[in-house]
Structure 1
């Protein structure tokens, strides 16, 4: 029978009355605690034993614990009037002697009349007399498997996942695989959680079943589990059900409740355990699952996937802190503020609280890439917390005539709770995580019911399970979402869709994205996550009140994808950005955890956009953000106040639109490595063919230019046939290149086989030239561009500006240009990826007078001189933020200020401030018709900037 706290308190009073004269340790302890456990409807012998022998680590001391519940409780009992402080010291000594997996959370010292209970996890303690026991009885909620506080701890969660991962591996190694293994793990996970959180009562009966009713060698463990699953799927006559269990069922099994919910329906192949596998399950069972979030299921799922599978599916387990960054501005912050306003009212509060709870019960949520249900779980938990806060305000506590604190007029608080797991919907392509998501939601529901029971002094649980989250096992990109929930019934779409870049997509994934985007032509280069944004946009087109929030790789808010994706969202579906988190590091709590750079973007239909848009920026991508409010946000996630068209996107340009000289890609041989030599290869080659020396040129890519080192390349464009005739080794390499090109699957490369001595791309300037590395580390404040001189040849990993002046270098190495690169350019992983068409050709160059140009040229030369002052340092050393010399930093800072003043007199507060200004300049370049409006916006922005600066 599931006892409520009122009944438990009544029993506690009766216990106190019966034992009011007890004082003798030896004669009365065991009867005393047998009766104590009966207060909770628990048979003491099922969970705890008397006189447990323990000994010190060095085995020279030993003792006996008066009552021991492994992993939960030590009781050190004394006769009336004895020193409880000394008893506590003895109990703590016994604690130290115990193995780690048996160390308890609670210590009770008692002399029958005086009680002192300590929670070693929280350092909370309770001191009271026997007569006051009923007032403090809820401190013993752990007897029912109920913890007074529930806190998610990453270490506890990860440990639980690792334990289950070991069990999974052992079962799989034994040949128990596939669908049965997945269903078995899900059922075991529910049992482990239920054993520690009060679903199973008394606490730890599942552990007791494994330890007492299965053989040490594990041979019958699988059979006992199958019997248990049958029991959990059979009505027991409680909670309005008919008793369908056999009368001959063993008492150990019959005490398990009826769970239902289809979780235990259907037969599984019986697993054959051995001693090691049984012990792994018992170890997992001894872990304290009451401190585990339901999001553990996500961690478990990822812990049993290898790295290759993780990358293919794009799965990233999401921490709760990061989930809150999505659901907070999506709905939770507004609901919290609404409840606070209601509670603060002086009149009409009760009716508003009732309507608020009813409103919560009407909200619906869809995660169309739900995985193991992490977003659904946390959203449900937070909704139930809001509901509980509203119910507590609606039914305040009052003092009874007996001095107890109770809530007014409440008989069954379960009738007041209206938020259900059935308000939540998910789509998941893999069956295992889909089933895990269902169970995770039941776990979250039970924890919320525990909190409700604690608040209203009852023991409340929703079992058997009747409501379930709606989790569809299907491919979300091939499924009509309205088959799961109609658009008009939905409020929020949220989640963390798979992170798979365009280059890493399977042919099937690429086809899905292109079909959904409908870009035509080559189909674009959208990341996989973009398809979820577009599908969600289609849903909003059917119901303009739906709000969207997704996590995505930051590639959708910078680089070439912006011009492909955002016109669809802005123009086709009329969406606006309601809030956004700019780039930050998205950590995982899973085994083999992944770290990626992401953004969070919240979207609404234009007809229902908020007046203020929230923007969360990260000065440090691994720390907390700074929030700002704006009238409108661009697709690049910065303020749109400097432009007339907030939907403006930067498109690749074939040639500079800014008056700059043409930037070229460096030489690209397509030679299979035949023409390229490192120092030792060059030395050996010239020892055999010294006449080739005149044709070997220094050859630098990004790596060599930034970090130092040198390679060499055969450059044969100027070689006469008569010279080549005398160089047989060179001719052999030419023949090898011809053969390599002829075998290429590319028709263009096969055409190049007719001219094997030539490069695919040949850029060999005859005077000093400027080079820009194609890729540079995100850690650097400046991309280390610079000059090369003939005969050095730049590879295609360097961009070449053959006619660049010192003033060009000054602009390109400035913070203004770096800001444009960082916000508009793409990324390779997290590193800056320079682009001719997207960055260089579109960058808005400043106007400069001859005097201003001379000024920045002098400052640019100072930068070069500061570099030259450190001749042994590579560019990597010079531009590492930890080792950058002070004189070089000062030179760059002076140049930055001078270039900034070419754009406006007022200083820029940040790189984001710079790029917002540059974006307005860009708009004027690409749309002369809007130049007047853009100029006006810039003037207004300058006035605001001056006012802000003055403030």
Structure 2
């Protein structure tokens, strides 16, 4: 369940007659507990309460009590030994009239009337596995409003299915935007009389709802008609109190879908909420899925927290504005110059969704402007920051409408906050007819036509604030010398998950730049467009992107193009989780990357330490891997740059799986033909050595072929391999049909084999590696170090190597993707002394011994970060300490410092190796 669904469920619960026996189970069910979980609690199988209540381990202890006993019962729940044993995070007591709860972790409490407890549902979201931010808990209204609007939307479509068709979908979305404005306006005195809009509909529409649509249409018509024209337009007296709104919001069709009794009830319920509490930077994200059939199942999951948005906006330009404000002090002229500068700043989000980034940017700039006005003694001065400077592109119709509306609401709220309600009301209506959010495909539109670099735009007013063509009319405003800041959170789709249209988008963007665009994430298109824009305008850009855009194959494809455009990374946030309000949502790992062709001398690199603390590192440069290092790009090498053993790709079978045996098949063959034991070898790919799976293969040397073929089962398998290879479309496999008794590759060890998986879980703190005997065979699902000294294994098993692999090799989905040519061969290691090698050998042996202590636990079991044995963790810590002291004489503070050292060393080693390679190439010529 998501946050909106949970809010709806507990609201329904609060409105039902109170049933003390059923309440605890209904409460838990509202937070997404499955029926089987509830049944086990009811039966007592998992209910550990010692107070006659319901205690869910690791979650909550609930008790229903007698009248007036909620406070004392809550105390008893807190003091309960069972609460402590079960590690409950919450306690809750209610008598059906009062409701009290406490978060035992934070100490925060809730005390309210029982009917009001849905107002505090955000307090309990952790019960559903939703790790939320304080802002959501404190602004639960936005989720409640979204829930009500969603129910109204669905009910209207049920009774008016034609309004859900492509032809009428815009009209339906437009209706919702009108309603949101009206609900906000009636509770903020924009409409005279609190609740006026809802009240008129309740009074003038019949209870059977037969004329609700007519009443609403009349109100919309009044708001689109100037006062002096209303008599001629025959606006009835009961609608005449409503102001003229215009701005395109109420122009066009006045058609309204018909309301059923249920829909009318939902409408009045929505209007009964307190819309003064709306938070436009949250609300837009909450509601944008309402109008999208595919996304409605994820309703409320699109929330983007303000702190995350500020990770983009603050270093992009807001920090600089605040610094200039601090420098200005109380100097009137300097303050005035800053205000004039801000009036020309444009914020452009070419993937704006419902406008979160634009709204936050506007509100933050208004806060700075308010301080300027305060210091100049001009508190009532009108804002010189126009909404039209906050521009966006959004592919979908409804979020684009909500973005405009959110900005209009934000402007009014800022006017009330900084200038007072009287002045805010005096200047708010009528709305202006200017368009500034374009509905279209950002990768196919010319950004300069939507957000020109300087000068006056085309002097055309749009007809409708909420009707915007693809070729958006420009807004008439002067912007000579202005700055443009491009920002946002574009879609991430990886190369394999892109639709045909998205592939075509990338082709258009990168045409003439590179032919390798098929291999990169969709978000790369926004970076390329931003770089092209910045080459022709005074602009800087910053986007949220999957961290893969600064890893692996993305770096040599995308970043040389960005750097060639004159742009460099001006600031960055290294990887962090970008979560939403879905239950148990793990979030996607993202990075924030700012680019500019006028970067500051000192670049800021933000990261999170291993202990969870924020770190700010200032440096002269940030490279495409988001490391404080020169702009080096790591390329594949055919052999190690350091003094390491050669690592080979595992053996590719190309056998149709006919040379592979299960454990049972291998056992039966050896029992039947003991003379063939020597051709049966253990087989290891990544899954086999990580999960402890048992597989074998037929490893037949040429001199053993006649003996092996004497067994009918083996002979049949060899013939099946031959048929498979001949039927293949791969010409190289066709040729291998002549030796169908063997894998394509025939690499084996003489003494020992160190295995490294091709893909590994990102949850592990170390890359899993294993030591096997000479008889073992590896598949192409693993890499192998054949007969390498054991100290090589210590390097593979280190934290240093993991962060290098994660950075330069990239990821498959979210898992680490290993590469011998890009990861191992490029891994920079200082010159090792014999003592260094001996120490590392001992570390590798200690890791292997620690694993042996926990036999038969698998690698997957042992390296689960939540259950890693203490002795194994200690062995790895010792290995890391020994290795890191070789690099810098101490342990590294964090991964950022590790990467900085690795890139520094790589740059020096690559420079030293380059001349030798050049001479070698010349000699061949």
For Structure 1 versus Structure 2, the TM-score category normalised by the shorter chain is 0.7 to 0.9
Q: Which residue of 2 aligns with 1:775?
A: 759
Secondary structure at the aligned position of 1:585 is classed as strand
Distance 1:799 1:747, change over 3 A: same
- C-alpha change, 1:891 and 1:431, in structure 2 (3 Å) is same
Of residues 144, 150, 156, the one that matches 1:159 is: 144
Q: CA deviation at 1:169?
A: 3.0
Match of 2:543 among 547, 550, 567: 550
Provide the residue aligned with 1:39 in structure 2. none
Instruction: Report whether the alignment pairs 1:869 with 2:839.
Output: no
User: Residue 394 of structure 2 contacts residue 439 of structure 2 at CA under 8 Å; is this kept in 1?
Assistant: yes
CA distance in 2, matches of 1:720, 1:55: 79
Aligned match of 2:392:
426
Question: How far does residue 390 in structure 1 lie from its aligned partner after superposition?
Answer: 2.0
Give the conservation status (yes or no) of the 8 Å contact 1:392–1:455: no
- 1:377–1:444 Cα contact (<8 Å) kept: yes
Give the structure 1 partner of residue 27 of structure 2: none
Instruction: Tell me the secondary structure at the aligned position of residue 280 of structure 2.
Output: coil
Question: C-alpha deviations, 1:701-741, integer Å up to 9, x for none?
Answer: 32332233324455567673674474358727954884598
1:175-224: CA deviations, max 9, x gaps?
A: 13132322222222322333333333322222223433333443333333
| Aligned position for 1:190 | 181
Q: For residue 472 of structure 1, what is the aligned residue in structure 2?
A: 438
Question: C-alpha separation between the residues in 2 aligned to 1:152 and 1:360?
Answer: 33
Q: How big is the alpha-carbon RMSD for the aligned residues of Structure 1 and Structure 2?
A: 3.9
The residue number in structure 2 matching 1:350 is 332
Change (3 A) 1:255 1:692: farther
Match of 1:902 in 2: 886
Secondary structure at 2:288's aligned position in 1? helix
Query: 2:721 & 2:139 partners in 1: Cα distance?
Result: 57
Q: Pick from 567, 570, 581: which aligns with 1:575?
A: 567
CA contact (8 A) 2:98 2:112 kept: yes
C-alpha change, 1:720 and 1:437, in structure 2 (3 Å) is same
Q: TM-score scaled by structure 1?
A: 0.72
| In structure 2, C-alpha distance between the alignment counterparts of 1:752 and 1:536, rounded to whole Å | 50
* Structure 1, unaligned runs of 5 or more: 1-53, 60-91, 105-120, 122-149, 237-241, 397-406, 408-412, 641-645, 933-951
Answer yes or no: is the 8 Å Cα contact 1:671–1:741 preserved in 2: no
Alignment of 1:335 with 2:325, yes or no, is no
Alignment of 1:800-839 (within 5 A): 800-839=784-823
- The answer for the alignment partner of 1:795 in structure 2 is 779
Q: How far apart, CA to CA, are the structure 2 residues paired with 1:354 and 1:842?
A: 54
**What is the distance in 2 between the residues matched to 1:159 and 1:56?**
21
Deviations along 1:754-780, whole A, 9 cap, x unmatched?
A: 876554555444542000122223332
CA–CA distance in structure 2, aligned partners of residues 55 and 766 of structure 1: 75
Does the CA contact (< 8 Å) of 1:560 and 1:838 recur in 2?
Answer: no
1:219 to 2:210 alignment: yes
CA–CA distance in structure 1, aligned partners of residues 363 and 689 of structure 2? 53
Post-superposition shift, 1:855?
2.6
The count of corresponding residues between Structure 1 and Structure 2 is 764
Secondary structure (helix, strand or coil) at the match of 2:618 reads strand
Q: Deviations over 1:656-678 (max 9, x none)?
A: 33343322222344566666565
CA distance in 2, matches of 1:593, 1:889: 28
Q: Give the match for residue 169 of structure 1.
A: 154
Indicate whether 1:392 and 2:378 are aligned. no
Q: Given the two structures, how large is their TM-score scaled by the length of structure 2?
A: 0.74
Counterpart-to-counterpart distance in 2, 1:512 and 1:250: 51
* Mapped partners of 1:891, 1:701: distance in 2: 25
Tell me: CA distance 1:789–1:281, structure 2 relative to 1, closer, same or farther (3 Å): farther
Q: Quick one: distance in 1 between partners of 2:789 and 2:292?
A: 54
Task: Report Cα offsets for 1:573-623 as digits up to 9, x if no partner.
Answer: 111222111111112247996721111111221xx32222111111259x6
Q: Distance in 2 between matches of 1:434 and 1:520?
A: 32
Counterpart-to-counterpart distance in 2, 1:712 and 1:772: 18
Once the two structures are TM-superposed, the CA of residue 475 in structure 1 deviates from its matched residue by 1.4
1:254–1:654 distance in 2 versus 1, CA, 3 Å? farther
Alpha-carbon deviation of 1:568? 1.4
Paired position in structure 2 for 1:599: 591
* Matching of residues 71-220 of structure 1 within 5 Å: 99-100=115-116, 153=138, 155-174=140-159, 175=161, 176-177=163-164, 178=166, 179=169, 180-220=171-211
Compared with structure 1, are the counterparts of its residues 917 and 454 closer, same or farther at alpha carbon in structure 2 (3 Å cutoff)? Answer: same
Bigger shift: 506-515 or 856-865?
A: 506-515
- Whether the 8 Å CA contact 1:153–1:292 is kept in 2: the answer is no
CA distance in 2, matches of 1:921, 1:731: 54
Q: Deviations over 1:438-475 (max 9, x none)?
A: 22211211211221343888744511101645112221
Counterparts in 2 of 1:906 and 1:695: CA distance versus 1, 3 Å = closer
What residue in structure 2 maps to residue 609 of structure 1? 599
Q: CA deviation at 1:679?
A: 5.4
Maintained 8 Å contact 2:284/2:403 = yes
Q: Once structures 1 and 2 are overlaid, which stretch shifts more, 152-161 or 578-587? A: 152-161
1:360 paired residue number: 342
Q: C-alpha distance in 2, partners of 1:846/1:731?
A: 52
Return the match for 2:651 from 658, 664, 667: 667
Cα shift readout 1:205-245 (whole Å, capped 9, x = no counterpart):
22223433333443333333333322222223xxxxx4435
CA deviations on 1:457-511 (whole Å, 9 max, x unpaired) are 8744511101645112221211111111222355211111111112212233234
Gaps of 5+ in 2: 1-14, 21-96, 100-110, 124-134, 455-478, 917-925
Cα contact 1:294–1:441 (8 A) shared by 2: yes
Find 1:584's aligned residue among 576, 584, 589: 576
Q: In structure 1, what is the Cα distance between the partners aligned to 2:194 and 2:678?
A: 84
Distance change in 2, residues 1:910/1:151 (3 Å): closer
- Structure with the greater alpha carbon radius of gyration: 1
Equivalent residues of 1:316, 1:588 under 8 A apart: yes
Distance 1:683 1:803, change over 3 A: closer
Equivalent of 2:429, from 445, 463, 467?
A: 463
Secondary structure at 1:503's aligned position in 2? helix
